[in-house]
Amino acid sequence: MVEGNCCSKENCTYPIVNKTHQLCQVHNWERTHKGQDFFEYQQQKKNEYTKRMQDRAIEKTKKTPPKPYLWKPPTPIKQVSNKMADALGIYVEIKKEYLKDNPECEAHFCNCNTPSEELTIHHKMGRIGYATEEKRQIDTPLLLDKDFFMASCGIAHRWIEDNVAQAKEWGYSLDRIK
């Protein structure tokens, strides 16, 4: 700071607030309050304020006691939405009908004799979304679309899922995005 704008006390660089005595706020306060340190006074005021606020909070809680806490067990998150639960209910019926019509594994590379009760449905395009815009219009999602079902034994189903490129080449899987 410029020498003329600083407090006249030694080593004080605060700006002048009392032009008559050339003192800053701190030294001017100490001049008028003999024997007290400005910063100790500020700390004392802060402590008094804190105590007042604590007392006020205590009085407020005496007037209005806190509501008792009632523990409720957490509500579990639904595993399946209502819409998906409805679709899965329909899927079970469609799956039974499809496996009745196709009692053998349709993955011809495995040559298995798996009984029809143990067959699963492989969804060639996946289960989520719609195959075409026409299917969307008639509300036939891939989960329920028999055109993309394939009866398969567990071994063939696993192989198709693990070997995507070869399965696509052989027609056991289809691209999901067209």
105 and 53 both lie in a single domain: no
Residue 123 in any domain: the answer is yes
What's the whole-model pTM score? 0.55
In a domain, 142, yes or no: yes
Q: What is the pLDDT of residue 98?
A: 92
| Strand partners for 121 | 151
The pLDDT of residue 137: 92
Q: Judge contact between 23 and 32, C-beta under 8 A.
A: no
pLDDT, position 2: 47
Residue 72 domain flag: no
Ranges of the chain whose pLDDT falls below 70: 1-4, 177-178
d(CA 128, CA 150): 16
pLDDT reported for residue 178: 58
Number of domains making up the chain: 2
Q: Which of 43, 39, 9 is nearest to 24 (CA)?
A: 9
Q: How far apart are CA 167 and CA 14, in angstroms?
A: 81
Same domain, 42 and 93: no
Q: What percent of the chain has pLDDT over 70?
A: 97
pLDDT digits (tens, 9 = 90+) for 24-60: 888 888 888 877 788 888 898 899 999 999 999 888 8
pLDDT for 135 equals 87
Residue 100 CA, chain-centre distance (Å), reads 43
Look at residue 40 in the predicted model and tell me its pLDDT: 84
Q: Could you list the residue range(s) of the whole structural domain that residue 27 is in?
A: 3-63
170: closest CA among 107, 119, 103, 99? 107
